[in-house]
Amino acid sequence: MLDSNCTFCRIVAGDIPSTKVYEDDQAYAFRDLNPQAPTHVLIVPKEHIESLNDIAQGDEALLGHLLRLAPKIANQFGMAESGFRAVINTGENGGQTVWHLHVHLLGGRPMTWPPG
């Protein structure tokens, strides 16, 4: 179900322009507007799910699909071998600012740990 108040639902619907890097029947991936690495892609389910806290048992396959797209898209950008980071910020303390589940795919530079 699309939520017309949700930025990422609007991006999936094409109401807000985005730079698409991948799409299938369940998922859409596009470049982050404010990239934190040379390659910064957001992978989202087409269905509106607010966060990891809202994943139900029936969503396990979808979640697995989104995660599997991280190395697939990383490979598309030639950064699967060199490595990448896949992050799902969840809730306020997790740093989530857009309330539509998304996997950040970051690469093209070495990452540090711990995150801020």
Reduce the secondary structure of 23-57 to three states and give it as a string: ECCCEEEEECCCCCCCEEEEEEECCCCCCHHHCCH
12 neighbors 2 (Cβ within 8 angstroms): yes
Q: Phi and psi at residue 9, in whole multiples of 5°?
A: -60, -40
- Cβ proximity to Zn ion: between 6 and 87 the closer is 6
85 touches Zn ion (CB under 5 A): no
Q: Does 4 bind ligand 5GP (CB under 6 A)?
A: no
Q: Which of 40, 48, 100, 102 is catalytic?
A: 102
Q: Which stretch binds ligand 5GP (CB under 6 A): 31-39, 62-70, 75-83, 106-114?
A: 31-39
Residue 28 in the binding site for ligand 5GP (CB under 6 A): no
102 in active site:
yes
Give catalytic residue positions: 102
